[in-house]
């Protein structure tokens, strides 16, 4: 396929297939297409660009990156079984995310790794480092980054 061209209203895309003298005309909104045979008298649309250099640039939407570090509240909260912890990083960073009990003792480390900028989530299944079910109670999720950013949220586990 050669030389794609869009109609001025961006409703059609035409591709000229030189190898077999046919035009492929695609209606973008419906994805319906038709093939026009140039060897039997079909004509190019007036807006079709023939020859010359061209750059085909496709803009793809990208998710916007967060501007600031955020450790969101877990959900559900209170929880029975497991809970999801969401957070946002404005840039790639080594993170340490861990769960602590009310006395400040480490219950479980959920992440200790480099992660890219963007939105992330982890699930805590209510178990400690040894795979034993943690008791009902209040726990804290603390997240720190290598850049010194810190967040903390309170979680309530109900068995």
Q: What average pLDDT does the segment 113-136 reach?
A: 94
* pLDDT over threshold 50, residue 1: no
What's phi and psi for 68, nearest 5 deg? Answer: -135, 160
pLDDT band (50, 70, 90) for residue 155: very high
The pLDDT of 125-150, averaged and rounded, is 93
Give the total residue count for the chain: 159
Cα(153)–Cα(73) distance, integer angstroms: 6
In this prediction, residue 38 has a pLDDT band, given cuts at 50, 70 and 90, of: confident
Decide: 111 and 93 in contact? Cβ < 8 Å.
Answer: no
Q: What are phi and psi of 117, to 5 degrees?
A: -65, 150
Mean pLDDT on 77-93? 91
Dihedral Cα 143, 148, 111, 87, nearest 10 deg: 50
Topology (CATH level 3) of domain 70-157: Immunoglobulin-like (2.60.40)
At residue 53 the predicted structure's pLDDT band, cuts being 50, 70 and 90, is very low
3-class secondary structure, 101: coil
Domain ranges for the chain = 1-60, 70-157
Whether 60 has a pLDDT exceeding 50, the answer reads: yes
Q: Is residue 65 within 8 Å of residue 119, measured between CB atoms?
A: no
Token output for 114:
């480099």
Is residue 17 a contact partner of residue 24, using CB atoms and an 8 Å limit?
yes
The confidence band for 127, taking pLDDT boundaries of 50, 70 and 90, is very high
Angle at 64 between CA 93 and CA 119, to 5 degrees: 45
């Amino acid at each position: 396929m050669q030389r794609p061209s869009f109609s001025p209203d961006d409703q059609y895309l035409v591709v000229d297939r030189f190898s077999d003298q046919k035009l492929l005309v695609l209606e973008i909104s419906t994805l319906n297409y038709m093939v026009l045979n140039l060897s039997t008298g079909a004509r190019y649309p007036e807006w079709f660009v023939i020859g010359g250099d061209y750059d085909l640039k496709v803009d793809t939407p990208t998710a916007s990156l967060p501007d600031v570090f955020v450790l969101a509240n877990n959900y559900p909260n209170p929880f029975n079984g497991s809970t999801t912890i969401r957070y946002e990083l404005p840039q790639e960073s080594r993170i340490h995310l861990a769960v602590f009990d009310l006395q400040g003792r480490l219950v479980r480390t959920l992440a200790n790794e480099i992660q890219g900028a963007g939105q992330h989530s982890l699930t805590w299944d209510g178990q400690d480092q040894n795979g034993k079910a943690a008791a009902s109670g209040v726990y804290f999720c603390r997240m720190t980054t290598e850049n010194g950013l810190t967040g903390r949220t309170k979680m309530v586990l109900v068995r």
